[in-house]
Structure 1
Amino acid sequence: MEKPAEPILSVKDLHVRFRTLDGEVHAVKGINLHVNAGETVAIVGESGSGKSQTMMAAMKLLASNGEATGSVDYRGRNLLALTKSELNAVRGRKITMIFQEPMTSLDPLYTIGNQLMEPIRRHRRLSAAEARKEALRLLELVKIPDPERRMRSYPYEMSGGQRQRVMIAMALANNPDILIADEPTTALDVTVQAQILELLAELQRTLGMAIVFITHDLGIVRRFADRVYVMRYGEIVEEGSTEALFSAPKEAYTKMLLAAEPTGRKAPPPDTAPILLDGRNVEVVFRIGGGLLAGPPLLLRAVDCISLALRKGQTIGIVGESGSGKSTLGRALLRLLPSEGAIRFDTHDISKADREQMRPLRREMQLVFQDPFGSLSPRMTIGQVITEGLLVHEPGLSAKERDRRAVEALNEVGLDPAMRNRYAHEFSGGQRQRIAIARAMILKPKVVVLDEPTSALDRSVQKQIVDLLRKLQADHELSYLFISHDLAVVRAMADYIIVMKQGKIVEEGPTEEIFDNPREVYTQTLMAAAIDVTRFRVA
């Protein structure tokens, strides 16, 4: 594709600073970058490198304690100098952004259809009927099944991957010049990830839009980007064409990023290890819609007669496409959702346990959520977030002892304890995920359900978190249910695999057997898609 000489977006001497209780944080330090019409530019780097804050500053979407200086020129206009009304004519229409956490970007009180139609009607002045038709087309475009029904759905009724696809549809609603994609495939399983990336590439060719790709997945970068900027500690340490940067990286930091990959294999526990969590014929059925005039409700069988037994020290990996029921199964086993069937935890039958009966067991059964930002209170410091569970389960601890435990937990997950007086919005997505892990581990649980715990992390930090989780497991004989779409991480973490599709188990067995010799066509498809998406990754 012919590239114009003049860039469509030009960032010059951009600085981003945040005022915090610990003083000023200089998150972005005088960087320069540009984007040409129709090209894909990737910004990569570890969590906290400033890559997301760079584009948030460009869109004037920084938190209230943030400030950006420098210039961000879009077609000759400095976005940082525009008034709110002038900026709104550009933002959401000419430049759109897909955010990293879709659940926090979608309004829980409005249907998917209403939220899709709003930007279409606002910027394109279409009638309600025309906007609805366009919204349906967009849902079909991003492969949302049964789009007519999903127009009436609320965000909580959709899986993480489906919510991310809705966000992509909203971003494409007004045919933008520039699409800023901040980890757009983070919540997607490998098969849908490949589809979405191909879709973005096709739309780019059709519409001629530029894409700014913020990601930690270097396999995706090598496959789709024209040029790459590598960031570290708020600065650009290396830049160049994708081919040149991957074939001959100059900086040691870039070489480290290219080589990072979770490694090692998890040995299974002995057959004599006691069973800590046992589910038999577990079912979860959601009733959707219905009423006096609407007729009988639609029954969605999200988990369909599943049995599993998790032993002490074992990690069971649960894989499958978005909407397969992985997360629902994990929550049902923890009695966070109503279910049918028998569930035992340790020596307790919790099949019908209510909230009060479960309360004393909660510290031993922890959950790390898929969306760390949505699960962290914006009004509490990180130290308060991490120690909140101690107030409930160890009320006799002094404030000094709770603070000491917070310091220990933050050290364990690789975060500076000095940052415990900051708030969630001051951390990157990867840092927030580590905070969520610290919050779970501080209670010394026996069983932890990890729902996409590494999905928001760059590869180098994924490797660290995998090593950390394995060390914690070995030190404390923890048992994990590890829910993920990232098969490379699952292979490094799990000793047993369950493959789910449409609420059912289609295949299960020891990890090496499932990866090396999958029997079912669906499992073979998942493995092939993972190889396709990651085939450019440098090992």
Structure 2
Amino acid sequence: MTTSETILTVRNLKVDFTTPDGMVNAVKGIDLDVRQGETLAVVGESGSGKSQTMMGIMGLLASNGVINGSAKYRGRELIGLPVDELNTIRGAKITMIFQEPMTSLDPLYRIGAQIAEPILHHRGGSKSEARARVLELLKLVGIPDPERRIDSYPHELSGGQRQRVMIAMALANEPDILIADEPTTALDVTIQAQILDLLKSLQQRFGMAVVLITHDLGVVRHFADRVTVMRRGEVVEAGTTEDIFERPQADYTKMLLDAEPSGHKPPVADGTPVVLSGQNVTVDYDIPGGFLSKASVFRAVDGVNINLRQGQTIGIVGESGSGKSTLGRALLRLTNAKGRITFEKREITGLDRKAMRPLRRRLQLVFQDPYGSLSPRQTVGEIITEGLFVHEPQLSRAERDKRAIEALKEVGLDPAARNRYPHEFSGGQRQRIAIARAIILKPDVVILDEPTSALDRSVQGQVIDLLRELQKTHGLSYIFISHDLSVIKAISDYVIVMKDGKIVEEGETDAIFNAPSADYTKTLIKSAFTADVAA
């Protein structure tokens, strides 16, 4: 890579948060430079401070956060810059793709209007011109049927589709620096490659710098020019991508490079009792008509049959929008569905909310977006013990607190975390809080919707080991929904592959990965493991 102009200079940057347990030093005086047209990857485990560094530079810290030091964009100091002046830079010259798209998109506005907002603010022009640009962007980032989706609300899109909307919004004004915070976290492997190719082509066309915050080292190796490795708020190593991957110096960097989900779960015996089943499960969504369009029905899940046995882990894979998350919610009676759903030989399809309530503690769900599912107004302790008020009201406050401590320890968090709020944690830490909230009730079945998507590889391994141990100890049954095939391979003993709401292939894990029969399954596996081998 040829030497180019440094356009962002960060020196002695510190980010601190005031908490009930004292000051938390999230970023401890780091230095870094971003050069025009390059890709700088900032990597590290959850809680390393990589996201808070960029949030601080953008002036987006939580109210209890304080930033000190210097961050100069083309010689102009950003730290302490008045909001009205900062707004002329962020959204136009420096933009950011956030890790949790559902919390960044306004649920009350259509996605087309939200993407158009920065275009109109920074470029001006008519609404019709902005709409044309929005359609162009939606096509670029791979949103299916963009003419219809432009008028959709965020909740009508899958997690991966919402992430692509965020990418479209960030690219709208062709920024000088694009900060991408886990931009492919919610995307399946085939779309990951498309998005990264898109970012690379736009980067080359406009000379745009990209700061890539990620835990996916495979992406880093193929996409980044330079790498900065962070741990506990400090930079432990920095250099070219080749140097970091081929000649790492720090032990911590070597540990990150060696981390990869591993293990093998043997299948359960054929005669093992079925705990949760669905026959011909079908989910339809009504799509209202517009001025020039008729009302229609979108079939998200199309006649799916599934049988989950005690102690079994069924992995459900497929691209974004394949219906895998909708199927999980339907099995838990969290969305309306046709067909027959049975829990421990009792049909629950027609049960109302009151009749389902006693079963809720035994049927738990860990959501894909932990920040959106964690109340920002409650402490972590209040969040994870909330279910105990409903299902074990006889417990005293001390007993609930003891259970909270035990649950936090099980997911690898400091028990003192129960006195803090969700926004004080990284995405990976919030995901572990969400898992703690589910396991504190000691359920029989847990449906995990992308539970490791926000976690770095080393922590993914810890969570997988935790889930295995809980399953072994308590005989838990899991439905594990993910686009990450390496995780699915490590934790599942049975795999279901979905596309367009239907099952295209299913079978024991070894059979699916070693001898897939469907072309779609072959494509998914090739996309995932070709990158892993190259990395």
Any idea what the Cα deviations from partners look like across 1:99-143, whole Å, max 9, x if unmatched? 000000000000011111111111001111100000000000001
1:3 to 2:3 alignment: yes
**Does 1:223 pair with 2:222?**
yes
2:140 is the counterpart of 1:141: yes
Residue aligned with 1:80, SS: coil
CA–CA distance in 2 between the matches of 1:84 and 1:9? 19
What corresponds to 2:442 in structure 1?
444
Aligned ranges 1:274-423 → 2 under 5 Å: 274-290=273-289, 296-423=294-421
4+ residue runs over 4 A deviation:
293-296
Residues 1:57 and 1:295: Cα distance change in structure 2 (over 3 Å):
closer
Distance in 2 between residues matched to 1:81 and 1:432, nearest whole Å: 29
For 1:534 and 1:39, locate their aligned partners in 2 and report how far apart those are by CA, in whole Å. 23
The answer as to whether partners of 1:8 and 1:36 remain within 8 angstroms in 2 is yes
State the percentage of identical aligned residues. 67
When structure 1 is superposed on structure 2, of 48-57 and 295-304 the one drifting more is 295-304
TM-score normalised by length of structure 2: 0.99
Q: Letter of the aligned partner of 2:12 in structure 1?
A: D
1:168-214 Cα offsets, whole Å, 9 max, x none, are 00000001000000000000000001110111111111111000000
Q: Which amino acid aligns with 2:457?
A: R
Is residue 163 from structure 1 mapped to residue 162 from structure 2 by the alignment?
Answer: yes
C-alpha displacement at 1:270, in angstroms? 1.3
Alignment gaps of 5+ in structure 2? none
2:476 alignment counterpart: 478
Cα distance in 2, alignment partners of residues 230 and 29 from structure 1:
14
How much has 1:531 moved relative to structure 2?
2.0
**In 2: Cα distance, 1:157 partner to 1:254 partner:** 40
- 2:70 maps to 71
1:344-367 deviation per Cα after TM superposition (whole angstroms, max 9, x unaligned): 001321011111111000000000
Q: Could you tell me which amino acid in structure 2 is paired with residue 3 of structure 1? A: T
Match of 1:132 in 2: 131
* C-alpha deviation, 1:532, in angstroms: 3.2
Q: 1:295 to 1:72 in 2, by over 3 A?
A: closer
- Cα distance in 2 for partners of 1:458, 1:509 equals 28
Displacement after TM superposition at 1:295 (Å): 6.8
Q: Distance in 2 between matches of 1:515 and 1:536?
A: 18
Equivalent in the alignment of 1:23? 22
What does residue range 166-205 of structure 1 map to in structure 2 within 5 Å?
A: 166-205=165-204
Matches within 5 A, 1:513-532: 513-532=511-530
Q: Amino acid of the residue matched to residue 419 of structure 1?
A: A
Q: Deviations over 1:6-32 (max 9, x none)?
A: 410010000100000000001100100
Q: Which amino acid aligns with 1:105?
A: S
Give, in whole Å, the separation in 2 of the partners of 1:217 and 1:88.
31
SS at match of 2:6: coil
Q: How big is the shift at 1:86?
A: 0.6
2:505 aligns with one of 504, 507, 523: 507
Deviation at 1:294, TM superposition (A): 6.7
Alignment partners' CA distance in 1, 2:352 and 2:368: 24
Distance (Å, rounded) in 2 between the aligned partners of 1:184 and 1:3: 26
Residue type at the aligned position of 2:189: V
Aligned to 1:459: 457
**TM (normalized to structure 1)?**
0.98
Which residue in the other structure is 1:49 paired with? 48
Task: Give the superposition deviation at 1:3.
Answer: 3.2
Shift of 1:2: 3.8
Unaligned runs of 5+ in 1: none
Cα distance in 2 for residues equivalent to 1:145 and 1:413: 37
Alpha-carbon shift at residue 535 of structure 1 (Å): 3.1
SS of alignment partner, residue 535 of structure 1: helix
One-letter code of the match for 2:383? V
User: Is contact 1:178–1:209 with CA below 8 Å preserved after alignment?
Assistant: yes
Could you list the per-position Cα deviations for residues 380-408 of structure 1 after superposition, in whole angstroms to 9, with x for gaps in the alignment? 00000000000000001000000000000
1:97 counterpart = 2:61: no
Q: Distance in 2 between matches of 1:186 and 1:324?
A: 17
Q: Distance in 1 between matches of 2:300 and 2:508?
A: 25
| Amino acid paired to 1:231 | M
Aligned match of 1:427: 425
Q: Equivalences for 1:258-277 in 2 at 5 Å? A: 258-277=257-276
Letter of the 1:202 counterpart:
S
1:389-447 deviation per Cα after TM superposition (whole angstroms, max 9, x unaligned)? 00000001000000000000000000000111000000000000000000000000000
Single out whichever of 345-354 and 217-226 deviates more from structure 2. Answer: 345-354
The reply on whether 1:213 has 2:212 as its aligned counterpart is yes
Counterpart for residue 123 of structure 1: 122
Post-superposition shift, 1:492? 0.4
Distance 1:100 1:331 in 2: 23
The one-character-per-residue Cα deviations of 1:275-333 (angstroms, maximum 9, x if unpaired) are 00010000000001138x77752110100000010000000000000000000000000
Question: Aligned to 2:418, what secondary structure does the other structure show?
Answer: helix
* Deviation per residue, 1:446-502 (Å, 9 max, x gap): 000000000000000000000000000000000000000000000001000000000
Tell me the secondary structure at the aligned position of residue 134 of structure 2: helix
Kindly tell me the number of residue pairs found equivalent between the two proteins.
Answer: 535
Provide the residue aligned with 2:485 in structure 1. Answer: 487
Name the aligned partner's letter for residue 225 of structure 2: D
SS in 2 for 1:135: helix
Letter in 1 for 2:500: Q
Distance in 1 of aligned mates of 2:467 and 2:49: 26
Report the residue type matching 2:331 in the other structure: L
Q: For residue 361 of structure 2, give the secondary structure of its aligned residue in structure 1.
A: helix
* Aligned residue identity for 1:313: G
Q: What is the DSSP-based 3-state SS (H/G/I as helix, E as strand, rest coil) of the residue aligned with 1:35?
A: strand
